[in-house]
Each structure stands twice: as C-alpha cells, then as structure tokens.
A and B are shown apart, each in its own frame.
Chain A
Amino acid sequence: MRKRKKDKTKQRLILWSTLVLALCIWAIVAPHITPNDPYYSNLAVAKQGPSSQYPLGTDQLGRCMLSRIMAGAPSTIFSAIAVVMITFIAGSLIGVFCGYYGGRFDAVVMRIVDMFQAFPGIVLAIAVAGILGAGMRNAVIALSVVGWTQYTRLARSRVLAMREELFMKAAKISGSSDLKIIFRHVLPNAMSVLVVTAALSIGGNIMEMASLSFLGLGAQSPKAEWGVMMNEGRSLLQLYPGMILYPGIFIFVAVMLFNLFGDSVRDMLDPRQK
C-alpha cells in the first residue's frame, strides 16, 4: 500500500518534470520558429483578431502576438530560473556557514537577513530595480537580492539542528576539517529541504519577473517579453482583451507547471512537509 503511494508520487514527479522540461525546450526553440517576425510592425494589420496568418492576432502596432509570445518565452522563464539558481546557491552557502560557525559573523548576517525580510519581497525588488535602473539583468539582480534570505534562514536552521547530532562529532573525530564536514555532511543533509524550496519558488519568480517587466522595471518595450506585452495591452483591455489575455495565459501555464513540479519534488523528497 505504502509502496503504491510512493510509486504514485514518483509517477507525478516524472509527469511534471517531463512537462517542465518540455516547456523549457519549447522556450529554447520557440524564438527560432516564430511564424512571423516578432518585431516587424505593420500598422495596416494592427489590432486584428486571430487569423491563419496571425494565430493569436496582432497588437496595436500590427506585430504577430504568437510570435512575440514565443520570442519572449526564454527571457521570462530562464531569467526566473537564473534568479532561483543564484539565490539557492548563495543563500544556502551563507546560511550553512552561519549555522556552522555561529558567533559574530552569524549574528551580523542574520540581522541583515532580518532587515531584508522586514520588507515585502516585491516592494524591495521594485526599490532595488528602481535604483539599478530598468533592464532584464538588473531585474535578475533585484530579485536575487530579495530572494537569498529564505535559503539562508532555512539552511542555517537545518545546520543548527544538525550541529548537535552525533555523526557531526564522529566526522570531527574522523579528522575531517570544517570545510570537508560542511561539503560532505552538512550540505548534502540540508539539501533536500533547500531543493524543495527552490523548486517551489521557480513559479513565483516567473511571476515576479513578469511583474517587474509589467511595471517597466525589467525588460523594456519593444522587447518581446510577457510582462511587457501585458503592459502594452493594458490600455486596450476592453477593446482587444487578447493582447493582455494571451501573454497572461502563458504566464499562468508556466507558473502552474513549475508549481506543480515543485509540489511533486516536495512530495518526493520531503513527504512530511505536506
């Protein structure tokens, strides 16, 4: 019975990771197979509904919606994944060192973490992106600056709990240096909960990435990017809802896929957290 449940979790993980992988491959390939030039504007065909020439219609400048969505896929999805990678690695390492060594370094870093967590994430990201100036790279930096703290906290608390465990003392008596203990025992044992957090936060980061672009702090018009496209469609919402709807649907699907993927990773690695 229990085995069957585990098989089911495994199947779900396989299903969602396949779909996520498919999405990523699509995002890589899509910009090269667009039906039309995503940047070619032709006012004669502006604001059209779906047709065989333009499957999702055209925007206010007569550019093919589908082509623009396809061209914008990698920037939104991969920049979100980049944010998760950066925050996951940097945050975890900082947290592990804080928890392992403790003392003044830990106290200072944790106060900094407290400061960052005192602000709602997206507000802080907007402030950072605002200071750095608009642009995709700066948006990635802004979200990374905001995002690392959750991994730091998590890694630190895991290490604090682990520090008192016997196998850590045994490792010390085996003559291993602190660094070796950290990379051989501490990090791998703290990894599952960190990976779960990372997997669960990809979806949220796609949304935040699109939000920053929507607010004009990420990618800039005329670049094809889902958040930017939704912003462009905003003023024509009532007349041509497709302009905001189609990129929105793609964001929705991408976020949902990554969230379901994150859920199944969690069920697989950390069944207690349900």
Chain B
Amino acid sequence: MYMAEKVLETVDLVKIFKDSYEVKALDNVSCFVEAGEILGVVGESGSGKSTLARAVTRLINVDSGSIILNGNDITGLKGKEMRKIYNDIQMVFQDAVSSFDARLTIEKNIDEVLENFTSLNRKQRKEKIKQLLRTVGLKEEYLTRKPLELSGGECQRAAIARAIATNPKLLICDEATSALDVSMQAQIVKMLKKLAVELNIAILFISHDLAIVNGLCDRVLVMYHGKVVESGKATEVICNPQDDYTKKLKASVFI
C-alpha cells in the first residue's frame, strides 16, 4: 500500500492561557496530516481549534509537546530559522479582508511572500501573481485593487492565492469558509479540494461546520475543551460517532 509522508505531526501539544483563571486551550493534542490529505478539525468555539492552528504556525508558543514539519522539529525555532518554515506552512484566516494590509494593493500584499521566499525579480513576480490569481479564479485586474474593494469571497480567493504562492506543503485554513455565503463556500471548498490533489498540499481545515467537513475532508479530528475526543475517517466519525461529545455536536448541527 502506498504510504504518504506525514507533512505535519504534533505530539502532545499543551498550551495553557493564564489570565484571571487558567484555560487549557490545548491538552495533549497529537495529530498528523499527510501530503495531499485534508484533515478537518471540528469543535465548538473555545475548543482549541484556532489555538492549534496558531501553535502549528508558531504564532503562539506552546508550553510543551512538539511540532514536527517534514520530519524536522520546529517547536523551538526562533528568528530567521522560524521564518523559513513559512515557505512550507501557510495559513488562510477567517476574516480574509483584514488579513490584507488595507493600504496596499492585492499585488503588493501577495508580493510580500514571493519577495521573501523566491529569487524572482519584480517582473517575474508580477507574472507569478497573475498566474496565482488565475488559479484561484480571479481576474488580472484585481492586481491593482485594494482589499476593501473586493467582496469577502474574492478576498478569500486572494488570500488562498497568497497562501499557495510558495507551493507550501501544508495549508492551514482557520474557519476559512465560515464568513462566506453558502454558494461561495461551495466554490472555495471545491477549489481547496482541487489544490490538495493538484499541488499535493496537506490541508488542515478548521471549521465548526460539520457538513462542509464531511464533504471536504479525508479525516476528522473532533476537539472539545482542548482535547482530541475522537478522530478517524470523516464519513465514519460524522456518520457514526462514538464519543458522546461528537454525538451531541452532530445532533446540534443535523437537527
């Protein structure tokens, strides 16, 4: 049987937020994603889904555990070494519009990642951005537009264009479709699926929408209070949940 390589693996991640009281946002979270695979992470608000995304992208530091990207431990990387991981890990946020610098054009916004990770000159980068926009189904004329002049769906497409610009191995979508209307959601989901297959990208798809996860993901991770309560093939977990919480979650969605 063909064994795909593990692009990302997390081992016993723990993150505790200490404020007025302690919140264990990640409680021994272990998971993995293989190349070309889409892993769905579901759970209610505050279950630690986004914390997981932020930990994996090193936007926050974990308290213990390790994050392994392509076999390399990236948990403790700092400075320049850490910045290099973004050649392989990219992220798409829920609020695509505010994930762009509103002052700069879409071209300038996408250019930043190409400038940092490729040795292309200005002209080549512009061509590359045009090509990326075509990949995500945006017209060339969006190059010179500002983020606020785009609709939410168009912005999300541009955000995906930026995220795949460096041919990353892992794409993290943190509620990437949640702010969009249903028809736009379907288009984005279709596009992500295509990208996963064509570019062999592993996708970590974080969502609270079980229906989308069911349709898009190969495997699913159910999180509750920072813990992974259930994981397995998407169809199995969602159609035939074993854990009590997953059952409740399913019941609350499919009334």
Interface residues of A (CB under 8 A from B): 165-167, 169-177, 180, 184-185, 188-189
Which of B90, B100, B103, B117 has the largest count of A CB atoms less than 10 A from its CB? B103
Question: How far apart are the CA atoms of A263 and B91 in the complex, in Å?
Answer: 42
- Contacting residues of chain B (99-117) with chain A, CB-CB under 8 angstroms: 99-103, 112-113, 116-117
Q: Give B99 Cβ to nearest chain A Cβ, in Å.
A: 4
Query: Which chain B positions have C-beta within 8 A of A180?
Result: 116
- Contacting residues of chain B (211-250) with chain A, CB-CB under 8 angstroms: none
Q: Is B12 an interface residue (CB 8 A)?
A: no
Question: How far apart are the CA atoms of A10 and B83 in the complex, in Å?
Answer: 43
Interface SS of A by simple majority = helix
Query: Which chain A positions have C-beta within 8 A of B95?
Result: 166
Query: Which chain B positions have C-beta within 8 A of A176?
Result: 83, 112, 116
Q: Give B161 Cβ to nearest chain A Cβ, in Å.
A: 12
Q: Give B176 Cβ to nearest chain A Cβ, in Å.
A: 12
Q: Is B205 an interface residue (CB 8 A)?
A: no
Query: Which chain B positions have C-beta within 8 A of A170?
Result: 91, 93, 99-100, 159, 162
Decide: A172 and B117 in contact? CB cutoff 8 A. Answer: no
With A167-B101, A175-B113 given, name 9 new contacts (CB 8 A).
A167-B98, A167-B102, A170-B91, A171-B101, A173-B91, A175-B84, A175-B87, A175-B116, A189-B101
Closest to B168 in A: A173
Q: Give B81 Cβ to nearest chain A Cβ, in Å.
A: 12
Question: How far apart are the CA atoms of A46 and B218 in the complex, in Å?
Answer: 97
Q: Give B136 Cβ to nearest chain A Cβ, in Å.
A: 16
Decide: A166 and B162 in contact? CB cutoff 8 A. Answer: no
CB contact under 8 A between A166 and B113, given known A173-B57, A175-B83, A177-B83: no
Query: Which chain A positions have C-beta within 8 A of B99?
Result: 166-167, 169-170
Closest to B172 in A: A173
Query: Which chain B positions have C-beta within 8 A of A173?
Result: 57, 59, 86, 89-91
Q: Give A78 Cβ to nearest chain B Cβ, in Å.
A: 31
B98 interface neighbour in A165, A172, A188, Cβ under 8 Å: A165
Question: How far apart are the CA atoms of A174 and B100 in the complex, in Å?
Answer: 11
Decide: B86 and A174 in contact? CB cutoff 8 A. Answer: yes
Query: Which chain B positions have C-beta within 8 A of A169?
Result: 59, 91, 93, 99
Closest to B95 in A: A166
Question: How far apart are the CA atoms of A189 and B95 in the complex, in Å?
Answer: 19
Return the CB mask of B51-67 against A: 1 if under 8 Å, else 0: 00000010100000000
Decide: A189 and B103 in contact? CB cutoff 8 A. Answer: yes
CB contact under 8 A between A167 and B112, given known A173-B57, A175-B84: no
Which of B83, B86, B90, B100 has the largest count of A CB atoms less than 10 A from its CB? B83
Q: Give B199 Cβ to nearest chain A Cβ, in Å.
A: 18
Q: Give B132 Cβ to nearest chain A Cβ, in Å.
A: 13
Q: Give A189 Cβ to nearest chain B Cβ, in Å.
A: 6
Return the CB mask of B70-103 against A: 1 if under 8 Å, else 0: 0000000000100110110111010100111111
Decide: B90 and A185 in contact? CB cutoff 8 A. Answer: no
Q: Give B80 Cβ to nearest chain A Cβ, in Å.
A: 8
